[in-house]
Each structure stands twice: as C-alpha cells, then as structure tokens.
C-alpha cells in the first residue's frame, strides 16, 4: 500500500542565517528531566517484564510521573536534606493476564530507584527520596486497539523532527553532556542539575549555564567562585571545538556573594529544595528545546514504544530528517518532518508524512525528492524496530 508522503519546499531562512536563535537543554538532573527519565525507565522495565512473561510488550503508558521537591539546608562543607523528594509514578499498565497478577508496582519502583541512583550520584535513594506508585489498569478501549494483530495507532496525534542540528543547537546539547557526563567525574563539586540556554545573535553565541554545586565539596565562597570560573574555562575550551563563532559563557548568574547567595545544594539537584518536575515539560525527543524550529508538545518519555504515536512519530521524525540529510550527501541544508496518525489505523500508514526540504544552493528539490521519499518509506517499513532500539538504549527520548 502506498503511503501518503508529501515533499515540498521549506520556505524559510536557513536556521544558520537567521539573526536570532534560541536553544535550551535541561540536564539529566533537572527535575523535568528526572521525571522524563523515571517515566521512560519504568516503561522499559515493564516492557521487559511483559516480554519475559508473554513474549510481547503489553499495553502501558507511564508518562505522568511527578517530582515533588523536598527541602534542604545546604552549607559549605556539607548540609542535609530535611524533607525527602517525593516521586509519584502515575499511568496505566496491564496489571493482570489470565487472572495472574503482575508485580507492576514493585517493578516500577525498582526501575525508578535504579534510574535516579544512576543519574544523581549525590542523592541517597533511601533517605532523600520517597517513591510511590499509583499505576492503574489500562483503558479497555485503548487496550483493545493495542491487542489487534496489526499494530494500530492508539491516538490521533502528530510527531515532528528536523535536521541537521545548527551550531548553536549542537553547542548547547554537547555543553550539557560535557558537564554532566565528563567534567563531573573530575570535579566532585559539580552536580547533575545543569541547564544550558543558548542565545545566538548573528555570529556571537551566549551560553547561560545554571549548575548546581555540591556543598560538601566546597569549603567557602571563594572556592565556590573558583569552581564556577573553572566550569567557564572548561566549557570555553569545549565550545571552541564545536563552533567557529564567538562564545560567551555565564555561569550561575543569580549568585550574589555579598548577600551570601549561591547555587549550593546537598545533592547536586534543585529538586531537593522545592523545585518540582513533570514529564514533557523539558527536552523534546531530540534532547533540546528549540523555539526557532518545529516542536511537538507531546511527552515522549514513558509512552509505550509499540503503538503510541506520540512517542514513535517524534522519534521517527528526527530519524527520517537526519537520514535524509545523510543520504542526500550535502545537497540539503535543512529538513523538517511532520507525521500525523489516525487512531485505529496502522502505525506504518500515517495520514500524512510531510517532508519539507530546503535544498543546498544550486540544488533543485526534484534532485533530492526520490531519496527523501525512500528514507521515509524505509523507516515506516521498519517501525517495529523502534521498541528494540529504545530497550537497548540506542534511542533516547529526551
């Protein structure tokens, strides 16, 4: 069956040529990212449970995790968490099969604990966080759709993607990864709650970085300021490898040493002190928040990976866009992908897959159209590989 794939010109100023660009990434320890990560870890744990027991992933959606901030008393040299962070696991899952009850809540809580422990190295899982599961049975209607022989969309929804990343987007993404995955190993005072905001004005980029620092690893205000200066210098070195543009970096701009105000934490995470988090309020499926590009408000984390198009189509949008750029060999400047489903219809047969393409200078749309259509068709034909890619960690949703 032929798919409704529409290719048209992308009528816009190329992102690199626009005068202003804004890009944000919330780091792994940000409360919204924690909510996303917990939701996704629970979904993957349930998927493995279902696969082990029944050979297929059963109906579930665990995309409503809430992180309720606790309270703390940070001090140079070491403070304490005075009220635990509360994590509420919410959603729907198949809780019983053939009168056999499944350990849904235990599986979910164990997965959530393992995820938080893996990301937040300074959080005491037993003391600093309280986990609660209120995951209930799934909707009969949606479960009925899910159990059809063909994989049918469980919603009428759309996903979007784009490629390639701009200099600023790549800079913001890699700056956060550098801080939370590399630099923190050499700098114990650096926590995991990092946010990077990029603002490009012409050929100048300004990065505003909020980095939670860990009190037990810092003696006083002077050492705190020295650590912020080190973060600035290390990021500047990293930025020079990623862009030719001039980059200014500001770290923890809300600090006021004269008033004794510092971004100081006990756990390296702002959720210890009242900052809450919700699924879908942070990074999109490509890891960024990009107001200058197409975005979906759909939360991808925690949705089942088999037929929830709110997840699948956002992932496919980015995969298709990236592969179009790759397969056309430099003949495309920018690609926007928009995919719309219809509830109850096959996931691999969208209502429309819209491919908007900005060809390179001197290249006509007709020259790249066949390759773009072939890429889109190829991904729809292998859409059933998405669950495995997610479960093996080869795809990320935030």
Mean pLDDT rounded to a whole number for the chain: 95
Task: Give every residue of the chain whose pLDDT is below 50, as ranges.
Answer: 139-142, 145
Provide the pLDDT for residue 141: 47
**What burial class does residue 20 get, using C-beta atoms within 10 Å of its C-beta: 0-12 exposed, 13-18 middle, 19+ buried?**
exposed
CATH class of residue range 31-146 = alpha beta
Provide the pLDDT for residue 78: 96
Domain boundaries, the chain: 5-12+156-165+281-391, 31-146, 167-278
Provide the pLDDT for residue 139: 47
Provide the pLDDT for residue 222: 97
Fold classification of 5-12+156-165+281-391 (topology level): GMP Synthetase; Chain A, domain 3 (3.30.300)
Provide the pLDDT for residue 228: 98
Q: Could you report the per-residue pLDDT of 108-158, keeping only the tens digit for each?
A: 999 999 999 999 999 999 999 999 999 998 644 445 545 556 799 999 999
Provide the pLDDT for residue 377: 98
CATH class of residue range 167-278 = alpha beta
User: Phi/psi zone of residue 28: left (φ > 0), alpha (ψ -120 to 50 degrees), beta?
Assistant: alpha
């Amino acid at each position: 069956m032929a798919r409704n794939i529409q290719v048209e010109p992308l009528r816009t100023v190329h992102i690199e040529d626009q005068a202003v660009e804004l890009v944000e990434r919330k780091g792994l320890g940000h409360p919204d990212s924690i909510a996303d990560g917990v939701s996704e870890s629970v979904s993957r744990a349930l998927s493995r449970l279902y696969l082990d027991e029944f050979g297929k992933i059963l109906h579930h959606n665990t995309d409503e995790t809430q992180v309720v901030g606790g309270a703390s008393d940070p001090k140079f040299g070491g403070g304490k968490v005075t009220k635990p962070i509360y994590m509420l696991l919410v959603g729907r899952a198949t809780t019983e099969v053939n009168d056999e009850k499944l350990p849904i809540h235990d599986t979910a809580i164990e997965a959530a604990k393992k995820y938080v422990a893996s990301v937040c190295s300074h959080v005491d899982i037993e003391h600093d966080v309280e986990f609660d599961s209120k995951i209930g049975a799934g909707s009969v209607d949606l479960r009925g759709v899910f159990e059809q022989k063909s994989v049918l969309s469980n919603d009428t929804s759309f996903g979007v993607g784009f490629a390639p990343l701009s200099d600023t987007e790549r800079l913001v993404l890699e700056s956060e990864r550098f801080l939370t995955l590399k630099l923190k190993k050499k700098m114990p005072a650096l926590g995991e709650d990092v946010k990077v905001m990029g603002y490009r004005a012409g050929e100048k980029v300004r990065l505003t970085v909020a980095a939670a620092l860990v009190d037990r690893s810092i003696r006083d205000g002077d050492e705190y300021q020295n650590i912020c200066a080190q973060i600035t210098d290390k990021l500047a070195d990293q930025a020079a490898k990623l862009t030719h543009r001039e980059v200014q970096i500001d770290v923890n701009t809300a600090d006021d040493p004269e008033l004794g105000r510092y971004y100081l934490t006990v756990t390296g995470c702002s959720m210890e002190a009242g900052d809450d988090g919700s699924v879908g309020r942070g990074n999109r499926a490509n890891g960024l928040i990009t107001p200058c590009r197409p975005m979906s408000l759909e939360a991808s984390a925690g949705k089942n990976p088999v037929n929830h198009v709110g997840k699948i189509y956002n992932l496919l949008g980015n995969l298709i866009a990236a592969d179009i750029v790759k397969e056309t060999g430099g003949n495309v400047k920018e690609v926007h992908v928009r995919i719309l489903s219809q509830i109850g219809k096959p996931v691999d047969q969208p209502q429309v897959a819209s491919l908007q393409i900005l060809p390179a200078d001197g290249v006509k749309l007709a020259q790249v159209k066949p390759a773009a259509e072939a890429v889109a068709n190829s991904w729809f034909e292998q859409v059933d590989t998405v669950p495995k890619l997610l479960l093996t960690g080869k795809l990320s949703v935030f």
